[in-house]
Amino acid sequence: MTLPNLNRLLMLETLERVPDGGGGYSEVWVPLGHLWANVSARTGRERSEAGVPISAMSYKIVVRGSPYGAPSRPKPDQRFREGPRLFLIRAVAERDDNGRYLTCFADEEIVT
């Protein structure tokens, strides 16, 4: 196995519910920490939502492994942030038998 080139610094974020004071809640993205990653494009497509064209790109993002339950271990429905870019994590799998690296399959959507 060749070692991945972890050359991009991404912020891992998770969605949390925050009480709104009126019996309901708001959802906010909370930073969990930075991870060095290797980001590579997979496939792209364009679709229309409510008449608005949206460009969707799929990515494979490799980060260092973390034990299950650790806050630094990415999970589906969390996201990575790189400046204004957002990568929603769809699935996570071990890249190698020893769990030294994780592969995150993520999507980035942009209104065109």
Identify the pLDDT of residue 16.
Answer: 94
Q: SS in 3 state form for 33-96?
A: EEEEEEEEEEEEEEEEECCEEEEEEEEEEEEECCCCCCCCCCCCCCEEEECCEEEEEEEEEECC
Identify the pLDDT of residue 112.
Answer: 62
The pTM (predicted TM-score) of the whole model is 0.86
Identify the pLDDT of residue 43.
Answer: 84
6 by Cβ neighbours in 10 Å (0-12 / 13-18 / 19+) ranks as middle
Per-position pLDDT tens, the chain of length 112: 788 999 999 999 999 998 888 888 899 999 999 999 999 998 888 887 788 888 888 999 999 999 888 989 999 999 999 999 999 999 999 998 888 999 999 999 776 6
Identify the pLDDT of residue 74.
Answer: 97
Identify the pLDDT of residue 111.
Answer: 67
Closest residue by Cα to residue 6 from 35, 34, 36? 36
C-alpha neighbours within 13 Å on the C-beta side of residue 2: 4
Tokens for 33, please give them: 């920490």
Closest residue by Cα to residue 31 from 8, 17, 11? 11
